[in-house]
Amino acid sequence: MRLFLLGCFIGLGSMASAQFLKYSNEFLAIGVGARAAAMGSSVVAGVNDATAAYWNPAGLTQIKDNLQVSLMHNEQFAGIVKQDYGTVAFKLNQNSHLAVTMIRVGVDDIPNTLNLFQNGQLDYSRIKNFSSVDYGFLGSYARTTRIEGLTVGANVKVIRRIVGSFANAWGFGFDIGAQYQRNGWQFGATVRDITTTFNVWNFTFTPEERQVLLQTNNALPSNRLELTAPRTILGAARKFLFFNKRLSVMPEVNAEVTFDGQKNNLIQSAYFNVDPRIGLELGYRNLVFLRGGMMNFQEVKQINGETERTFMPSVGVGLQINRLSIDYALSNFGGAANLPYSNIISLRLGINKREQ
């Protein structure tokens, strides 16, 4: 455990170098909302509620309520990682919306064993627990344009990352998005970290902790700048209605394109990688919904040298009662059959002014 903890600090030190990193601010790539999770995160074109502040800020213009609140709780890997999310979106006028979002992803009660030894003897009373927590704060603005069917939006985001008393960082960045509707088709595009998001890391160790790191031949992490490269998500969707509009079928296809070095995606290269996503939503009377999706397609090399294709499946249901929506999703974030599935629950409530 001690060596593992030391390795985590060394990783933080190397991660905070001033360069584009493959998994920088990855906690912001998990996604929000049980509806999106059930559809394999394939919602960029069709999102039309408060969660659009995260997925595609342009979708905020589709909200019909004066004010809409969205909340979610998610636990991954048997409850080790906890994610909480909340958005408040409100209408400024008929053409524009604002939203404020907070995302928290954390691992709590991590044993700190750096001070386990005292005078060469094990002293378990010196073990203290700490948390590794990431926060994302988003301010969103969206409006319709003079081009029929086209809406645009943008996010300004502030990032706060804390690893116990050892490390912390502040970050800042921008996202932009657009949606276009024509002849029943819906198209969407989001560019995250469009101006390159940066995190400024600061590391603090006590003299005793520094000595432990040096005695075990580990380099001390230094204060550095971490850069997050832009990524683009493109999507297309269409809703089909049957049986006098009582039954709806809405498929959506998305593709996330990253430019931060070669990854193990289905489409990969040294210059860009493409992760396709597929989602489907079946609705009955706009009251009950059944959803499914697939994402994170990868080619994984096995121990025997053979290559196996894997993906992350997900399913979910939704219930809409007047302005209250309750959504549930079951998703395998690890993409492997031997890893536990995550249960995701989210609520959405629309609030409107009373008519005089």
Q: What is the DSSP string of 295-338?
A: EEEEEEE-TTS-EEEEEEEEEEEEEEETTEEEEEEEE-TT-STT
- Domain presence at residue 304: no
- Total number of residues shown for the chain: 356
Give the pair of three-digit tokens for residue 45.
């074109």
Higher pLDDT, 233 or 339: 233
Question: What values do phi and psi take at 302, rounded to 5?
Answer: -85, 170
- Domain presence at residue 340: no
- Domain presence at residue 291: no
- As for how many domains the chain has, the answer is 1
**pLDDT tens per residue, range 157-213:** 999 999 988 899 999 999 999 999 999 999 999 999 998 898 999 988 888 778 777
User: Distance between CA atoms of 274 and 24, rounded to whole angstroms?
Assistant: 17
Which residues, listed in sequence order, are joined to residue 130 by a DSSP beta bridge? 110
User: Distance between CA atoms of 171 and 157, rounded to whole angstroms?
Assistant: 8
- Domain presence at residue 73: yes
pTM: 0.85
**pLDDT tens per residue, range 123-143:** 777 788 888 999 999 999 999
In this predicted structure, what is the pLDDT of residue 19? 59
How many CB atoms sit inside 10 A of residue 286's CB?
Answer: 10
- Domain presence at residue 289: no
In this predicted structure, what is the pLDDT of residue 7? 36
| Residue 17 pLDDT > 50 | no
- Domain presence at residue 269: no
User: Distance between CA atoms of 345 and 302, rounded to whole angstroms?
Assistant: 34
- Domain presence at residue 38: yes
- Domain presence at residue 104: yes
**pLDDT tens per residue, range 239-256:** 999 999 999 999 999 999
Domain holding 40, by residue range, is 2-256
